Structure 1
Amino acid sequence: MKLIIVGATGFVAQELIRQCLPNPDIMSIVAVARRPIPNPVGANADKVKSVLVADFDNYSEEVKKEFAGADACIWTVAVTPTKAKEMPFEEVRRVCHTSTLVGLRALHDAGLARSFRFIYMSGFAAERDQSKKPHMMASYILMRGETENAVLAFAAEHSDEGFEVCVVKPGAITHDAESLEKAKQLRVTMGIDIPNIDVEEISAAMLQQVVHGIEKEPLMNDDLAIIGRKVLERKV
């Protein structure tokens, strides 16, 4: 299959690329980012094609040609809650919401495979019910839920074309003792119980969904951890 990874220089995206390289089901990877990705290391590095965009709101016809015929996309572009506190909200909304919808339309316009799976990385606290009033970071939490709703609506509009969507909703994504400690500190700062998941587990879980089919929607932190562990255990 041909897989597009958007936000390819990011923490999770780099792990996705690493796991894709030995995966015989994934024949090519279109790594979309605003700057060149680190050179993939190991066998099958030639699977990866780095595609640069000035930002995630504009896609030239040349870039769209790289999307043509793709079987799946994993969208990792977003502003984390911690970083969102340091940015104007309109910019946070542009990155998280507007860019996602522009990207979806660009992908669709490029001409995709008949059966296409779109995995959208959101967050465990994102609230789809826009009538609710979250106690903390309400604008951010509702905006992320609004984006989930919009992505799902886009898929429903194009379901007759084989367009499928799964929203994944992890908590803190960790990879070592230092990141685990930061996750603990975030729980204290936010005053809520934030789950966490290892970056290898969430990456394995998302790749399982794009290759073998979406199991359910949404996939919460615990769902992702269970799926990811099973996949990784089979590889040992």
Structure 2
Amino acid sequence: MKVILFGATGMVGQGALRECLLDPDVEQVLTVGRSATGQQHAKLRELVHKDLSNFSGVEEALTGYDTCFFCLGVSSAGMSEEDYRRVTYGMALAAAETLVRLNPGMTFIFISGMGADSTGRSRTMWARVKGETENALLQLPFKAAYMFRPAYIQPLHGINSRTKLYRVLFVAAAPLYPVWKRLFPKHVTTTEQLGRAMLQAAKQGAPKRVLENEDINKLVAAHA
């Protein structure tokens, strides 16, 4: 399996990259982003591309892949709806529309979030935009497409967020994670579980096209 990974420098993307590099079924990983990951591995290829809304000049590099993990995302805090839509919807669709044309047999997995609203009626801006993005991606003629909606994600294996506030919060929350896992198992996961679930969906499919946090954990547990 050959994987394209968007957002490999973010927390979720770091987790996905780690699991891809460890998985014997993954032959190659191409990371696409504005900056390099700084990692070196025999499986790893990197494409540093500044304009993530236009891939016309790099299409050859994006051809011949089986799977895309789209982990690119930003917090909506302090952003206007127009700017958040440009990043969340615009970049995801630009990548997906290019990839489905170049790789029609591809499986596309989009990292959304718990609370995303596919009806478009939510009063919460980010939920509407995420839901609209999910709907648009599911309309594209990929071999398969899955929308992942994780809730709280605990970073493992030295992985952390690029956002300073989140880094502080994750460090503070780490001792409490085992308690939360027992009390709220449907609402917590880890970067490792999320990465493994994405790989499992890419390899063998998933029972739903939109997977909530509980579904993500069940997918991993079923193939442990």
- TM-score w.r.t. the length of structure 1 is 0.78
Q: Which residues of structure 1 form unaligned runs of 5+?
A: 185-193
Distance in 2, matches of 1:35 and 1:180, equals: 25
In the TM superposition, residue 56 of structure 1 has moved relative to its aligned partner by 1.4
Distance in 2, matches of 1:33 and 1:179, equals: 24
Distance in 1, matches of 2:49 and 2:10, equals: 15
Matched residues, percent identical?
28
Please say if residues 11 and 155 of structure 2, whose CA atoms lie closer than 8 Å, have aligned partners that are also in contact. Answer: no
Counterpart check, 1:124 vs 2:114: yes
- Name the structure 2 match of 1:72: 67
- Name the structure 1 match of 2:128: 142
Please say if residues 200 and 228 of structure 1, whose CA atoms lie closer than 8 Å, have aligned partners that are also in contact. Answer: no
Of structures 1 and 2, the one scoring higher in RCO (CA 8 A, sep 6+) is 2
Paired letter, 1:171: A
Paired letter, 1:119: I
Counterpart check, 1:115 vs 2:105: yes
Counterpart check, 1:21 vs 2:21: yes
- Name the structure 2 match of 1:188: none
Alignment of 1:1-236 (within 5 A): 1-40=1-40, 45-61=41-57, 63-80=58-75, 84-109=76-101, 111-112=102-103, 115-130=105-120, 132-134=121-123, 138-154=124-140, 158=141, 163-175=143-155, 178-179=169-170, 181=172, 195-231=187-223, 234=224
In the TM superposition, residue 142 of structure 1 has moved relative to its aligned partner by 1.0
The number of equivalent residue pairs is: 203
Paired letter, 1:100: A
Paired letter, 2:64: G
In the TM superposition, residue 49 of structure 1 has moved relative to its aligned partner by 0.2
Please say if residues 174 and 180 of structure 1, whose CA atoms lie closer than 8 Å, have aligned partners that are also in contact. Answer: no
Distance in 2, matches of 1:106 and 1:49, equals: 19
Q: Which residues of structure 2 form unaligned runs of 5+?
A: 157-167, 177-185
Q: What's the C-alpha RMSD, in Å, of the aligned pairs? A: 2.3
Please say if residues 76 and 120 of structure 1, whose CA atoms lie closer than 8 Å, have aligned partners that are also in contact. Answer: yes
In the TM superposition, residue 229 of structure 1 has moved relative to its aligned partner by 4.0
In the TM superposition, residue 178 of structure 1 has moved relative to its aligned partner by 5.0
Structure-2 change in CA distance of 1:17 and 1:133 (3 Å): closer
In the TM superposition, residue 212 of structure 1 has moved relative to its aligned partner by 2.1
Please say if residues 6 and 33 of structure 1, whose CA atoms lie closer than 8 Å, have aligned partners that are also in contact. Answer: yes
- Which contiguous aligned blocks of 4+ residues in structure 1 show a shift greater than 4 angstroms? 180-184
What do residues 41-98 of structure 1 show as CA deviations (whole Å, max 9, x unaligned)? xxxx11110101113102143x211211110101011223xxx122233211111011
3-state secondary structure, aligned to 1:224 = helix
3-state secondary structure, aligned to 1:58 = coil
Please say if residues 6 and 32 of structure 2, whose CA atoms lie closer than 8 Å, have aligned partners that are also in contact. Answer: yes
Paired letter, 2:72: V
Please say if residues 206 and 219 of structure 2, whose CA atoms lie closer than 8 Å, have aligned partners that are also in contact. Answer: no
- TM-score w.r.t. the length of structure 2 is 0.82
Structure-2 change in CA distance of 1:127 and 1:107 (3 Å): same
